[in-house]
Amino acid sequence: MPGALDARDREGAVRKLENGPLDVLVIGGGITGAGAALDAASRGLRVGLVESRDLAAGTSSRSSKLIHGGLRYLEQRDFKLVKEALRERDLLVSRLAPHLVRPLPFLYPLYKKVVERPYVGAGLVLYDAMEGTRRPVPYHRHLSTRGALRRAPALRPERLAGAMLYYDAQVDDARYTMTVARTAAAHGAIVLTRASATALLRDGERVAGARVRDEETGREFDVRASAVILCAGVWSDLVHEASGVRAGYQVRMSKGVHLVLAGTAINEERPVLHPVGRAVDRGHHGH
């Protein structure tokens, strides 16, 4: 069955990759690699994807699981990026993956009575306006102090001046990556997991494929391709070093910090956004 990625078809996938040649070989089975494979396969190209572990085994199963329009980028005046992100978010919620991506309300507490509400409110008005009128998520709302405490009783009421309620979206990141990879396979892409790209093949100065090791059997084989797309994330440098490629850049690992608390610590079901440097509850921020 096309797109099933059945383990019983694994040997067949190995043979197809080995026999090649491919138009495009994608290294890395996260959402970027799966998306690249789908884009190429849907254009009629002969595509292969190899992943050293399992699909979404790395960063794509360890994200904050948000599909957002980039509200914070408005402060940086990157309006083009925000508009594009909002359009993609709405497509996912309404048409592409409504079974995996759903609207998610965010509560933004306000503590400065005079300055903060008009400042944050203006940003959210712009955020909503850039999304347009045909939208699958609700508009933002202003909340009084009482309304904010009704939705988030754990907030400290002493200096609270109300809140803003706005919407982005949440995704099951690993399942979404799997769905994209299966769709690529349905379009003819050869998807092989537990297969590591140990080195890049060279044809003079041109990269012409990759040496692949089957992690289940230990056997190595060459995969020839007209183009190689490296989507290995923080593991990209390892592939470059093993192949003697000077990429001209290095991929540095970064991380976000999530504090996991007992459900009794914060009586709140929706995310509460506290920007860094907030005067109230300084040092406790995030979402």
- Low-confidence spans in the chain with pLDDT less than 50: 278-287
d(CA 194, CA 16): 16
| pLDDT tens figures, 67-112 | 988 888 888 889 999 999 999 999 999 999 999 999 999 999 999 8
Are 66 and 258 within 8 A, CB to CB?
A: no
Our measurement of the distance from residue 164's CA atom to the centroid of its chain's CA atoms, rounded to an integer in Å, reads: 26
Model pTM score: 0.83
Residue 9: the pLDDT is: 85
CA distance 232 to 27: 6
Residue 282's pLDDT is 33
> What's the token pair of residue 67?
């599909």
Which pLDDT value is given to residue 1? Answer: 55
pLDDT at 168: 93
User: What was the pLDDT predicted at 278?
Assistant: 44
**Three-state SS at 207:** strand
Quickly tell me which residue has 């690993």 as its tokens.
174
pLDDT at 2: 59
7 contact partners, CB below 8 Å, separation of at least 6? none
Q: What does R_g of the chain's alpha carbons equal in angstroms?
A: 23
- 101-109 and 206-214 beta bridge pairing: unpaired
Three-state DSSP class for 60? helix
Dihedral sign for Cα atoms in the order 245, 188, 174, 57: negative
Q: How do the domains of the chain map onto residue ranges? A: 7-61+174-243, 66-171
Model pLDDT, residue 283: 34
Q: What is the pLDDT of residue 3?
A: 64
C-alpha span between 137 and 130 (Å, rounded): 13
How far is it, in rounded angstroms, from Cα 74 to Cα 131? 13
CATH T-level assignment (fold) for domain 7-61+174-243: FAD/NAD(P)-binding domain (3.50.50)
